[in-house]
Amino acid sequence: MKKVSMFAMAALLSFCVQSKAEEVKIGILLSFTGPIEELVGPMAEGAEFAVAEVSDSGLFLGGSTVTPVRGDATCVDAGAATAAAERLVTADKVSAIMGSDCSGTTGAVLQNVALPNGIVMISPASTSPGFTTVEDDGLFFRTAPSDARQGQLMAEIITERGFGSVAVTFINNDYGKGLADSFAAAFEGMGGEITINAPHEVGKADYSAEVAALAAAGGDLMVVAGYIGEGGKSIVRGSIDAGSFDTFVFPDGMYGDGLLDDFGNELDGSFGQAPGTDSPGLATFAELVSSAGINGEGPFIGESYDAAALILLAMQAAGSSESSMLKEKVMDVANAPGEKIYPGELAKALEILANGGEIDYVGASSVELIGPGESAGNYREFEVQNGAWETVAFR
Amino acid sequence: MLDLVNALTLLANFVLIPGITYGSQLGLGALGVTIVYGILRFSNFAHGDTMAFGTMVTILLTLWIQSLGITFYPLPTALLMVPFGVVITTILVLGIDKAVYAHFRQVNAPPVMFVIASVGVMFVLQGLIRLIIGPDDQSFADGARFILRAREFKEYFGLSEGLSIKVTQLMSLVVTFLLVISLFWFLHRTRTGKSLRAYSDNRDLAQLSGINPDRVVLYTWILATALATIAGVLYGLDKSFKPSVYFQLLLPIFAAAIVGGLGNPLGAFVGGFVVAFSEITITYAYKRFFAYLLPEELEPTTLLQLLGTEYKFAVSFLILVIVLLIRPSGIFAGKSA
């Protein structure tokens, strides 16, 4: 009995504390299962790192704490992603959502959950060009650039290197199709020839048919707009083994250590591009999170940190955790004018905002939001040399 | 003449060899499905993840003996560990049978209950695999990779087309072929095999003639699990091990088993090839093939592709529908699906 009453008192006490400085919840809606599950773990940790940094500072909205709540977006199942987001909003009562990752599920969650409930979403990784023009009531932002930009850049890199005809295979989803289409338009505009533009499905058992069709079409090199574990690697493996292509172009979805581990020197001379920057922010971030065992230079991890940080800083600027208020402030905190904010300086940013000052959030991925609230995009051009990714230039 | 050789080499390299490999991998998977269906009378949806589990155990054992410095050159080291993988996986599957399916047999539940229970088992296995080895891609193939390399073949014969054959590709075919033959021999020539077939034909009559049903169930699971583990390891060696892909394998495996005739081992083998070749031949772009054969002025300007590769699944399922409409029991008479 004594124990029960003490427990009740403790509960009551914590309730009293909460009612003064509220407990803000942020949804972390990422694809913990499904095709990109191996990329997502560190992304979520990156976002939660920012949340902890803000929460632990004690400066957030008059001493409020922030709790991250995870939801599984599955990457491919729009229904499951919508249900997970619905749960975050209605049951967990999150104020805003960091996510999702894959463009298909992000679109579904935006239409079915974020818009009807008026919840702000900031995606760290959805790069489909479709989001540039989507009707979002000012609720949707992304710290990832649109693939329209990457397609254009990839066409420029290939042309500069003197290749005239390419075979393209893309993963059959919003990401792959958007990237392949924007690349094909840009490359043909520069006088290049696309011998075949063939889709491949996510994570199937066998890709011999795709390898055969690509080989039959031929070309100087092959562009693989896919994911490493979801057919991309199988198609590269099959093409090398069959002797049909030697040089490949890898966009961001194929950029990862998992690809090179299995190929050794066989991919030397292949090249590509992925979001990346040589700004001091990334190095700071990598150092900051390495203590937590996270490799900060992995794909979309800095972007995840930035997405979560932007949500919280916009709340601070708005003086409220309400999505309807914070959505007006996202662009303000992300862009100039104001004091530049790098990773690890969130406490400083909170203080400036609390005192009515202005900040220009730079973060890990050099955040600069353009147009309807998407990253302008900084890319790293890389090449495979002696079985390792080597950065050639920043663009 | 040289053109003809080039054209045939091209076809062999991109259609024949990949088709045979994929076909035998599917056939081996379908064999396991067909045996469970034929004898225990339900479609085992957990088969794909049983394959994944067996492969995972084999991979972990392989990593362990590799760290001790033992290899099996020129063959992959994993082959040495397959028997142990089979034993451990069989223990797990028998445990699952005791915990789940035995109850449904006791109450004489309709097949659909077994199917749904197997879906549950499938999800549990998926979770278990992710807990133990994680969702990442693992490649565990070592030893020699090629029997024939495309570039060397090209230079040696002075052709403009290469031909490559991987060790794992030949292994898939040989192992599948041997297993089908020994399974046939087992089912038709041995006492145990005959008791399995008797049980499959008429359960009550088999029990009346003194066949122990528990024994039949035990042997069936051992056979199915051994086939699943071997199929999983061969597939993983040839491609790579990724848990989610083994789940995706389930669909073409069932297609192969049904096309061939559920419950018929030979049918499962042939069904695998039908599914694999229908996917590859119909979506292949025949441009280069005809460019070798036709005179220059007739050279094709388009890709000459019957269907885009994105429709390859439509092809195998179209065949499935046609077979079910015309011969509901499959190409080789099995039990009707």
CA B105 centroid distance within chain: 28
- pLDDT at residue B202, as a whole number: 87
Predicted confidence (pLDDT) at residue A15 exceeds the cutoff of 50: no
The average pLDDT across A355-361 equals 92
- What is the CATH classification number for the domain harbouring B221? 1.10.3470
Residues of A in contact with B152 (CB under 8 A): none
Instruction: State which residues form the domain around A304.
Output: 21-146+279-375
- pLDDT at residue B167, as a whole number: 92
A128 and A31 assigned to the same domain: yes
A39 and A105 assigned to the same domain: yes
Residue B332 belongs to a domain: no
Instruction: State which residues form the domain around B183.
Output: 2-326
Residue B334 belongs to a domain: no
A269 and A388 assigned to the same domain: yes
- Contact with chain B for residue A193, Cβ under 8 A: no
What integer best gives the mean pLDDT of chain A? 88
The average pLDDT across A181-204 equals 91
- pLDDT at residue B337, as a whole number: 39
Indicate the residue of B146, B244, B252 with minimum beta-carbon distance to A203. B244
Work out the burial of residue A134: count CB atoms within 10 Å of its CB; fewer than 13 is exposed, 13-18 middle, 19 or more buried. Answer: middle
Task: Tell me the three state secondary structure of residue A26.
Answer: strand
Scanning A18-77 for CB atoms below 8 A from B yields: 33-35, 37-38
Residue B266 belongs to a domain: yes
Scanning B211-240 for CB atoms below 8 A from A yields: 235, 239-240
- pLDDT at residue A8, as a whole number: 53
Owner of token pair 């990237």: A179
A200 forms beta bridges with: A171
Pull the structure tokens for residue B95: 């445990």
A131 and A224 assigned to the same domain: no
Residue A16 belongs to a domain: no
Predicted confidence (pLDDT) at residue A12 exceeds the cutoff of 50: no
Residue A48 belongs to a domain: yes
Owner of token pair 């540039």: A132
Query: In which region does residue A152 sit, left (phi positive, over 0), alpha (psi from -120 to 50) or beta (all else)?
Result: alpha
Angle at CA of residue B201, ends B200 and B204, nearest 5° = 90
Put simply, the answer to whether A198 touches B309 (Cβ < 8 Å) is yes
CB A196 within 8 A of CB A168: yes
A207 and A293 assigned to the same domain: no
Residue B244 belongs to a domain: yes
- pLDDT at residue B335, as a whole number: 58
For A38, nearest residue in chain B (alpha carbons): B136
Put simply, the answer to whether B284 touches A209 (Cβ < 8 Å) is yes
Q: Which of A165, A206, A237 to mutate to test the interface with B (most CBs of B within 10 A)?
A: A206
Pull the structure tokens for residue A94: 């999150």
The pTM score is 0.76
- pLDDT at residue B156, as a whole number: 87
Scanning B29-58 for CB atoms below 8 A from A yields: none
CA distance A20 to chain B (A): 41
Residue B331 belongs to a domain: no
Residue B335 belongs to a domain: no
A283 and A364 assigned to the same domain: yes
Task: Tell me the three state secondary structure of residue A243.
Answer: coil
- pLDDT at residue A16, as a whole number: 42
Put simply, the answer to whether A216 touches B13 (Cβ < 8 Å) is no
- pLDDT at residue A14, as a whole number: 46
A239 and A188 assigned to the same domain: yes
- pLDDT at residue A202, as a whole number: 82
A20 pLDDT tier (thresholds 50, 70, 90): low
- B163-186 confidence digits (pLDDT tens): 999 999 999 999 999 998 999 899
Backbone angles phi, psi at A169, to 5 degrees: -125, 135
Specify the number of domains making up chain A.
2
Owner of token pair 């008429």: B202
Predicted confidence (pLDDT) at residue A298 exceeds the cutoff of 80: no
Neighbours of A38 (CB within 10 A): 17
Neighbours of B166 (CB within 10 A): 22
- A43-97 confidence digits (pLDDT tens): 999 999 999 999 999 999 988 999 999 999 998 899 999 999 999 999 999 999 9
A262 pLDDT tier (thresholds 50, 70, 90): confident
- A301-317 confidence digits (pLDDT tens): 999 999 999 999 999 99
Scanning B64-123 for CB atoms below 8 A from A yields: none
Q: Which of B133, B137, B275 to mutate to test the interface with A (most CBs of A within 10 A)?
A: B137
Residue A4 belongs to a domain: no
Backbone angles phi, psi at A181, to 5 degrees: -65, -45
Neighbours of B107 (CB within 10 A): 7
Scanning B274-303 for CB atoms below 8 A from A yields: 276, 279-280, 283-289, 303
A268 and A330 assigned to the same domain: no
Q: Which helix (H) or strand (E) holds A45?
A: helix A37-57
Residues of A in contact with B245 (CB under 8 A): 203-205
Sequence-ordered list of residues with C-beta below 8 angstroms from that of A242, at least 6 positions apart, any chain: A211, A215, B13, B14, B150, B162, B164
Owner of token pair 């000459």: B304
Residue A231 DSSP one-character state = I
Pull the structure tokens for residue A297: 């230079």
Q: Which of A169, A204, A208 to mutate to test the interface with B (most CBs of B within 10 A)?
A: A208
Higher-confidence position of A250 and B336: A250
A141 and A152 assigned to the same domain: no
Dmax (CA) for chain B in angstroms is 74
**CB-hemisphere CA count at 13 Å for A238?**
27
A389 and A254 assigned to the same domain: yes
Residue B84 belongs to a domain: yes
Pull the structure tokens for residue B177: 């072929």
CB A340 within 8 A of CB A360: yes
ipTM greater than cut 0.95: no
Residues of A in contact with B25 (CB under 8 A): 205-206
Pull the structure tokens for residue B163: 């031909």
Specify the number of domains making up chain B.
1
- What is the CATH classification number for the domain harbouring A217? 3.40.50.2300
Question: Alpha helices, DSSP H only, in A249-345?
Answer: 257-261, 280-290, 301-318, 323-326, 330-334
CB A102 within 8 A of CB A177: no
Ranges of residues in chain B whose predicted pLDDT is under 50: 336-337
> Closest Cα to residue B141, out of B68, B74, B85?
B74
Neighbours of A364 (CB within 10 A): 30
Residue A3 belongs to a domain: no
Predicted confidence (pLDDT) at residue A10 exceeds the cutoff of 60: no
